[in-house]
Structure 1
Amino acid sequence: MAPRRDAALPRQMSLFDLIDAAFPSLTGAFTAPSTPAPAALSQPPAVQPPPPAPPPGPRPFDYTHAKADREIRLGDCRVGYLLRRARRKSIGFSIGPDGLAVSAPRWVGIGDIEQALRDKSGWILRKLAEQRERGRRLQAARIEWHDGTSLPYLGETLIVVLDPRATGARLNSDAQALPGVPRLTLHLGLSHNASAEQIRDTVQAWLQREARKLFEERCAHFAQRLGVRVTRMRLSSAQTRWGSASADGSIRLNWRLVHFGLSVIDYVVAHELAHLREMNHSPAFWDVVRSVIPDLDERKAQLRSPVVPLLD
Structure 2
Amino acid sequence: MDIPVEVQRSRRKTLAVSVGKDLRVLVKAPLFLSDKEIHAFLEKHRKWIEKQLVRQRERKENARNFSPAEVKELKMQARQLAEELIQKYAPQMGVKPTGLKITSAVTRWGSCSGKNSICFSYRFALLPKEAAEYIVVHELAHIRVKNHGPRFYEQVRRILPDYKERIALLKQAQCSLGL
Shared fold (TM-score greater than 0.5)? Answer: yes
Q: Which residue of structure 1 lines up, in the alignment, with residue 54 of structure 2?
A: 132
- Partner Cα separation in structure 1 for residue 136 and residue 18 of structure 2: 35
* Structure 1 unaligned regions, length at least 5: 1-73, 103-111, 146-198
Change (3 A) 1:94 1:209: closer
Q: Which residue of structure 2 lines up, in the alignment, with residue 279 of structure 1?
A: 146
Q: CA deviation digits over 1:78-98, x for unaligned, max 9?
A: x154789x9x9xxxx885535
Q: Which residue of structure 1 lines up, in the alignment, with residue 44 of structure 2?
A: 122
Give the helix-richer structure, 1 or 2.
Answer: 2
Q: Which residue of structure 2 lines up, in the alignment, with residue 213 of structure 1?
A: 80
Matches within 5 A, 1:124-273: 124=46, 126-139=48-61, 141-143=62-64, 200-273=67-140
- Partner Cα separation in structure 2 for residue 101 and residue 227 of structure 1: 43
Q: CA deviation at 1:272?
A: 1.0
- Partner Cα separation in structure 1 for residue 25 and residue 149 of structure 2: 38
Amino acid at match of 2:176: V
Change (3 A) 1:205 1:125: same
Q: Which structure is higher in RCO with an 8 Å CA cutoff and minimum separation 6?
A: 2
Q: Which has the larger radius of gyration?
A: 1
- Partner Cα separation in structure 2 for residue 271 and residue 82 of structure 1: 35
Amino acid at match of 2:76: R
- Partner Cα separation in structure 1 for residue 54 and residue 141 of structure 2: 36
- How many residue pairs get aligned? The number is 166
Counting aligned pairs with the same residue, the percent is: 28
Matches within 5 A, 1:1-20: none
Change (3 A) 1:287 1:131: same
Change (3 A) 1:130 1:224: same
- Partner Cα separation in structure 2 for residue 130 and residue 259 of structure 1: 24
**Aligned partners of 2:6 and 2:24 also within 8 Å:** no
Describe the SS at the equivalent of 1:270: helix
- Partner Cα separation in structure 2 for residue 296 and residue 285 of structure 1: 12
* Structure 2 unaligned regions, length at least 5: 11-16, 28-33
Give the strand-richer structure, 1 or 2.
Answer: 1
- Partner Cα separation in structure 2 for residue 230 and residue 83 of structure 1: 42
- Partner Cα separation in structure 1 for residue 51 and residue 73 of structure 2: 36
Q: If the length of structure 2 is used for normalisation, what is the TM-score?
A: 0.72
Q: CA deviation digits over 1:173-224, x for unaligned, max 9?
A: xxxxxxxxxxxxxxxxxxxxxxxxxx72222221111111221221122222
Q: If the length of structure 1 is used for normalisation, what is the TM-score?
A: 0.44
Change (3 A) 1:308 1:119: same
